[in-house]
């Protein structure tokens, strides 16, 4: 179990060691920084497009994908009719329909992290053996994506699971609302039954709403507020566990594609 949680940290440290052992570490930092910037600019639109592909491939529909202009939003808007240039985030799939399927919802969230499993983590393993400064940022950005997406995509995946499991509690607390009440603003086409309004791709924004306007999340009264807080807390813990599980999948896949003599330091 300890090794399960230490694996990402050990891999990053081991991958940094060959870089730090070069004759001129200062000169190695320049291509590393350039590679990091380029990788991030390229990865953001790919990440968002894979959200859309995950939704479409599992039976959902995409209506609006926001991408900032300097990440190629304007160019992609000319190619895909549902892409919009500009967003308060680097990119966000703000309009999609799952037709009530949580499996489609989960696939939509998880789509980009297939790259972490198939490319990112194996590249990080390769960097442990070879002094490839340019590859290290690619490995970090793609391979560690589950961890820096904890408050976003991974919280959302975890909250899908916890709110579904907590639905009986929601019914017991009479959290279900009438059909005439407005749906959750962040979840297009989703019912407000149970704690579904606690599903979000921005846990910080969600907690702000919880603190200032819990009624918009269909939480009324002390019992519902307490239950909602428990759901959010469990979702955060589960999100962290899911991130480590994703990395473990990449670790397992890398053992199939990266020979042992290339992955050892």
pLDDT tens, 124-153?
Answer: 888 876 666 678 889 999 999 999 999 999
Helices 25-57 and 2-20, interaxial angle, to 10°? 140
Longest dimension (CA), the chain: 69
pTM: 0.86
Q: What token pair was written down for 155?
A: 């919280």
- pLDDT of 21: 66
Phi-psi region of 221 (alpha: psi -120 to 50; beta: other; left: phi over 0): left
Q: What is the pLDDT along the chain (265 residues), one digit of tens a residue?
A: 788 899 999 888 888 776 666 666 666 677 778 888 899 999 999 999 999 999 999 999 999 999 999 899 899 999 999 999 988 888 899 899 998 889 999 999 999 999 999 999 999 888 876 666 678 889 999 999 999 999 999 999 999 999 888 877 666 555 444 433 444 544 544 444 568 889 999 999 999 999 999 888 888 888 888 988 999 999 999 999 999 999 999 999 998 887 654 544 4
**Predicted pLDDT of residue 41:** 92
Q: In whole angstroms, give the CA distance from residue 175 to residue 89.
A: 31
**Torsion of the alpha carbons at 204, 205, 211 and 213, rounded to the nearest 10:** -170
Q: What contacts 216, CB < 8 A, 6 or more positions away?
A: 185, 197, 209
**Local structure of residue 150 (DSSP, 8 states):** I
Tell me how crowded residue 65 is: count the other CB atoms within 10 A of its CB: 25
Per-residue pLDDT at 177 = 44
What pLDDT does 152 receive?
Answer: 94
């Amino acid at each position: 179990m300890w090794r399960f949680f230490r694996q990402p940290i050990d891999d990053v440290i081991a991958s940094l060691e060959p870089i730090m052992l070069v004759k001129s570490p200062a000169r190695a930092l320049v291509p590393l920084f350039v590679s990091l910037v380029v990788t991030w600019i390229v990865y953001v639109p790919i990440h968002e497009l894979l959200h859309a592909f995950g939704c479409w491939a599992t039976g959902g529909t995409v209506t609006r994908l926001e991408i900032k202009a300097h990440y190629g939003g304007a160019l992609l808007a000319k190619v895909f009719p549902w892409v919009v240039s500009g967003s308060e985030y680097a990119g966000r799939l703000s309009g999609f329909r799952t037709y009530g399927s949580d499996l489609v919802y989960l696939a939509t969230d998880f789509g980009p992290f297939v790259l972490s499993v198939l490319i990112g983590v194996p590249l990080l393993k390769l960097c442990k053996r070879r002094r490839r400064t340019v590859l290290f940022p690619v490995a970090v950005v793609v391979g560690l994506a589950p961890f820096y997406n904890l408050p976003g995509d991974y919280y959302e995946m975890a909250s899908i699971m916890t709110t579904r499991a907590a639905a009986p509690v929601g019914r017991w607390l009479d959290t279900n609302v009438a059909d005439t009440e407005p749906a959750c603003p962040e979840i297009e086409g989703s019912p407000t039954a149970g704690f579904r309004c606690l599903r979000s791709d921005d846990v910080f924004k969600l907690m702000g709403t919880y603190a200032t306007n819990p009624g918009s999340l269909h939480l009324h009264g002390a019992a519902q507020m307490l239950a909602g807080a428990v759901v959010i807390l469990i979702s955060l813990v589960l999100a962290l566990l899911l991130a480590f599980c994703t990395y473990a999948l990449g670790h397992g896949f890398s053992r199939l594609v990266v020979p042992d003599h290339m992955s050892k330091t």
